[in-house]
Amino acid sequence: MMALYCDVALPVPLDRTFTYANGIGTMPVVGARVLVPFSGQRLMGVVVRLHDEPLPEGVEAKPVQAVLDEVALLPDELTKLALWIAQYYVAPLGEVLRGMLPLSAEVKRQFVYRIGEAGRRVLYEGAAKGSSRRSRLTPEEQNREYAVLNYLESGESAKASALRSATQANKAMLDAMVRKKWLVKEAVAEERDARRSERVAVLVEGGGEQGGGRLPRLNENQLAVMAELAAVGGRMRVRDLRESLRDTGIPDSTLATLVKRGLVGLEDVAQAFDMGSVSTHGKKHAHEHALNETQMEALGTIAVALDRGVFAPHLLYGVTGSGKTAVYFAAMRRALERGKSALLLVPEIGLTPAMTGQMVAAFGSEVALLHSQLTPDERAEQWHRIRRGEARVVVGTRSAVFAPVVDLGIIIVDEEHDSSYKQEETPRYHGRDVAVMRAKLNDAVVVLGSATPSLESWANADRGRYARVEMRERVANRPLPEVELIDMRAEFQAVGKEEVFSRKLIEETQATLDRGEQVIILLNRRGYSFVVMCRSCGEKIECENCAISMTYHKPVEGTDGRAPVGQRLECHYCGFRRTVPKVCPKCESEHLYYLGAGSQQGEERLQELFPSARIGRMDRDTVRGRSDMERLLTRLHAGEINLLVGTQMIAKGHDIHGVTLVGVVGADFALGLPDFRAAERVFQLLTQVSGRAGRGDLPGKVVVQTYHPDHYAITFAAKHDYPGFVAKEMNYRRWMHYPPFAVLANVVIQSDKLEEATGWSGVLGRWLQKRAMEKVRVLGPAAAPIVRLKRIYRYHFVLKAEKRQVLQEVLRAMLAFAEAEGIPRKGLVIDVDAVHLM
Ligand SMILES: Nc1ncnc2c1ncn2[C@@H]1O[C@H](COP(=O)(O)OP(=O)(O)OP(=O)(O)O)[C@@H](O)[C@H]1O
Ligand SMILES: [Zn+2]
């Protein structure tokens, strides 16, 4: 029964587990977290296996230092998911598990018991009910069990140690009671436990007088508690009360007794979780509309699957403004009604505060929010709320796919095409694909929704793996906006110089503002100019750390006559900043010039063109936190801003009814990037940003400035023809053996020494050439499109295979070969299903 060793997955970049020796007090279970020594540090890992297998001769296992969980922290389902991710993405299990457990805040933790529903029944309905099952226990043992239930009756949780000393129950008895579901056993941090149950003890006025008006007889301890409460005005947080009682040696159970006798009441002051000031600007919430026929049909398909309780992946293709949100909400509501939980993934919570606002409005305190701006403490708190089943609706970004919801019924992935679902560090998982796998492990429904589904998901629907649900019209018979393309080559010919905004866009903007309507203009680069070039030597000024042009940021006028601030050159990849040079750093020529308009320049030009417009800007420089975004959106909804310029942030799901004109500047630049997804991305961006126009009562219009008016990504977007675009793009992918017609991995070889990066890629290249059977195509080695990033030199291979298993095998064999050749693991980045090849 006692295993000698445990294998632990550690958060280190090594594709293996490590064996430690169990001790008397350090006997973990599989799924528990442990602290172990690892090359001079103390690391937290998760036990994945217990065994007695002898270690190799001469190897001695170091002992486990501490066991942090008495029972498995992760539900079985998530452990399985972790194993799948490690396998699928060729990622170290320990790093996968670390990402799943956002609990770094609580290494100091505790074990507590609460009374369960069954226990409450036994307590209230008496021994009779349970007597047959309980008959094996002696009367004395039965009494002890009652003492435990009594002790926990108030609903507060209690530490194992407190429970044992108060009731004489031993651990075996408590565990038996947990098995009978009389008790619930939970692993929580000490501080957390107090925080979440923000209970307040209140002196009950006239309490206990029912028995004839006399004050009931109280013992000394009970009187002391009453006095303590009375002294602070009759109200006190249970946590504080317990603390002060502990000092005087009064047991916690005294309070419980007073509660039972009706002298003290307990109020659950819901631990206020800050949902942020989320408003929906007077419009109706999505869940307040009666669903239209199309929405009902979409919901119907999903609901049928929910009711059957089987794994059922859906692709919901619904054009912009077709009312997908309302369908999501109705589907989640359905899951709740079936006693299940629902998980909604969104690309970035801060960008779409309205969505969160609607969630809270629709589901109230059942909602838990998980996003990147939570502190580790808050994250842990949400995690436990979810794990205990208190929050059955979870909305969050990528990693929320690991939220430990109880009884998962449905996962919805909104804007499933969004590349922010791909994690760009180890483990490089795709939140959307993990969502599908998780649904599978839980016999749950998964809905991937978008107006521009990824080709991967579309192909899965074509192959019958996903059920396709379509919403081809906007709600309320609103038309999709008319799109006009402006050929910027012709514009240049006509105007004779390079202008940011075409005459047509200026004219339409003026007309729209004159009608009292709103305009959004996309300029998908931030800063003022994104290239600074020397006329004499032709050099671009590059970042010191990266092979990337630096972006010029113009100074912002200082207020109160202070000097202008913020003038700089900045690298948008590593954040490096430098002063703006007067002369070319290479040839010292004074003829530096600035190319390419970013959003800052766009705003400046618009101010000149439309002096009376109320202009706002939305980009990473003006939106740092969630409150910035909310402020901007509020001003937009209120009409305080009537002309908004910004980067692709403005394209994300916003539902602003006054916007009737959308302008697009320079979005086709991305067509030239060396990435097979370039066309798909441009099509998505154009479609999404166009979708912001005409969402209210008035129809919308879109003006797209382009140097590639004939490119199919542009022409299909202009016609709102997603199926047409996809058909064409699929042909190209099939022809070129790219996803979704092959599986692909990007392997980056990196080092801060150029010779190492080139040397290693040579070694691996030769090996891969030999291994590259017909089954795996190898492109490279070649310099990565960004050959130097944050002072690291980068080379890469792209591997393509027909079969996923073949790809995984080659990658693993390559890792083993690299290790044998002495190439360090951190010199190799394996990106399975890479989204960016840069
Ligand atoms: N049945 C309905 N009748 C009228 N209006 C509706 C109905 N359902 C939703 N709406 C409204 O339609 C607008 C668009 O809905 P929603 O934001 O869900 O679109 P969407 O499909 O998510 O679009 P996008 O992909 O652009 O984000 C919202 O203002 C929403 O309140
Ligand atoms: Zn840089």
pLDDT tens, 730-766? 999 999 999 999 999 999 999 999 999 999 999 999 9
Q: Is the pLDDT of residue 270 over 90?
A: no
- Among all bound ligands, the one having the nearest atom to the CA of 572 is 2
pLDDT for 281: 55
pLDDT higher than threshold 50 for residue 784 = yes
Ligand 1 neighbourhood includes 619 CB (under 6 angstroms): no
Q: How many CB atoms lie within 10 A of CB 283?
A: 15
CB 504 within 8 A of CB 486: yes
Predicted confidence at residue 278, as pLDDT, reads 43
Q: Are 531 and 538 in contact (CB under 8 A)?
A: no
Q: Of 112-121, 208-217, 278-287, 557-566, which has the strongest mean pLDDT? A: 112-121
Helices assigned H by DSSP within 364-497: 376-387, 431-441, 455-462, 488-495
Whether 486 has a pLDDT exceeding 90, the answer reads: yes
Please name the helix (run of DSSP H) or strand (run of DSSP E) that holds residue 799, with its range, or none. Answer: strand 792-801
Residue 293: per-residue pLDDT: 95
Which ligand 1 atom sits nearest the alpha carbon of residue 295? 1
Nearest-CA residue for atom 29 of ligand 1: 655
For residue 271, name the pLDDT band (cuts at 50, 70, 90).
Answer: very low
How many CA atoms are closer than 13 Å to the CA of 460, on its beta-carbon side?
A: 20
Ligand 2 mean position to 627 CA, how many Å?
28
Distance 602 CA to ligand 2 centre (A): 24
8 A C-beta contact, residue 699 and residue 659: no
* pTM for this predicted structure: 0.79
Q: In what order do the strands lie in the sheet with 18-21?
A: 18-21, 5-9, 41-51, 33-38, 66-67
Distance from Cα 541 to the centre of ligand 2, integer Å: 11
600 touches ligand 1 (CB under 6 Å): no
- Residue 307 has a pLDDT of 93
Secondary-structure breakdown of the chain: helix, strand, coil percentages, each rounded to the nearest 5: 40, 25, 40
Closest residue CA from atom 26 of ligand 1? 320
For ligand 1, whether the C-beta of 358 sits within 6 Å is no
Residue 284: the pLDDT is 63
DSSP letters for 522-544? EE---SSEEEEEETTT-PBPB-S
Q: How confident is the model at residue 25 (pLDDT cuts 50, 70, 90)?
A: confident
Query: Is 691's C-beta closer than 6 angstroms to any atom of ligand 1?
Result: yes
CA 595 distance to own-chain centroid: 36
The closest-lying atom of ligand 1 relative to the alpha carbon of residue 284 is 31
Q: Which atom of ligand 1 is nearest to the CA of 325?
A: 18
Which residue's CA is minimally distant from atom 31 of ligand 1?
Answer: 286
Position 216 confidence tier, pLDDT thresholds 50, 70, 90: low
121 φ/ψ angles, rounded to the nearest 5 degrees? -60, -45
Task: Count other Cβ atoms within 10 Å, centred on residue 34.
Answer: 22
Beta-strand pair 367-370/393-396: parallel
Which positions make up the binding site?
534, 537, 543, 546, 571, 574, 584, 587
Which parts are annotated binding residues for Zn(2+)? 534, 537, 543, 546, 571, 574, 584, 587
Residue 435 burial (C-beta neighbours within 10 Å; 0-12, 13-18, 19+): buried
- Answer whether 761 contacts ligand 1 (Cβ < 6 A): no
pLDDT at residue 170, as a whole number: 85
Nearest atom within ligand 1 for CA of residue 290: 1
In this prediction, residue 275 carries a pLDDT of 39
Measuring CA to CA, how many Å separate 323 from each of 315, 445, 469, 477, 636? 15, 20, 13, 12, 21
Residue nearest to atom 8 of ligand 1 (CA): 323
* Structure ipTM over 0.95, yes or no: yes
Q: Where does the pLDDT of residue 808 fall: very low under 50, low under 70, confident under 90, or very high at 90 and above?
A: very high
630 CA to centre of own chain:
19
Q: Is 653 in the pocket of ligand 1 (CB under 6 A)?
A: yes
How many whole angstroms separate alpha carbon 100 and alpha carbon 92?
A: 13
Region 681-687: what's the mean pLDDT? 97
Residue with the nearest Cα to atom 10 of ligand 1?
A: 323
How far is residue 244's CA from residue 112's CA, in Å, rounded to a whole number?
20
Helix H or strand E encompassing 785: strand 776-789
Alpha-carbon distance 203 to 215, whole Å?
A: 14
- Digit-coded pLDDT (tens) for 50-86: 999 988 888 889 999 888 888 888 888 998 999 999 9
Q: How many CB atoms lie within 10 A of CB 826?
A: 11
Q: What pLDDT sits at residue 250?
A: 81
Work out the pLDDT band at 562, boundaries 50, 70, 90.
low
683, 452 contact by CB (below 8 A): yes
The residues facing 592 across adjacent strands are 534
Q: Could you give the C-alpha distances from 828 to 91, 96, 126, 423, 748, in angstroms and in order?
A: 12, 17, 64, 17, 6
Ligand 1 pocket, 286 CB below 6 A?
yes
User: What is the per-residue pLDDT for 727?
Assistant: 97
Buried b (16+ CB within 10 A) or exposed e, 674-699: ebbbbbbbbbbbbbbbbbbbbbbebe
Q: Which one of the ligands is nearest to 653 CA? A: 1
Three-state SS at 194: helix
Distance from Cα 691 to the centre of ligand 1, integer Å: 11
- How many whole angstroms from 577 Cα to the centroid of ligand 2? 8
Centroid of ligand 2 to alpha carbon of 550 (angstroms) = 8
Mean per-residue pLDDT over the chain, rounded: 87
Query: Which of 289, 412, 656 has most ligand 1 atoms within 8 Å of CB, for mutation?
Result: 289
Q: Nearest ligand to the C-alpha of residue 329?
A: 1
Report residue 206's pLDDT band, with 50, 70 and 90 as the boundaries: low
Answer yes or no: is the C-beta of 318 below 6 A from any ligand 1 atom.
yes
Residue 195 has pLDDT above 50, yes or no: no
Ligand 1 binding pocket includes 257 (Cβ within 6 Å): no
Helix (H, G, I), strand (E, B) or coil at 707: coil
Nearest to 70 by CA among 103, 36, 30: 30
Of all ligands present, the nearest one to the C-alpha of 290 is 1
Which residues are 395's β-sheet partners?
A: 344, 369
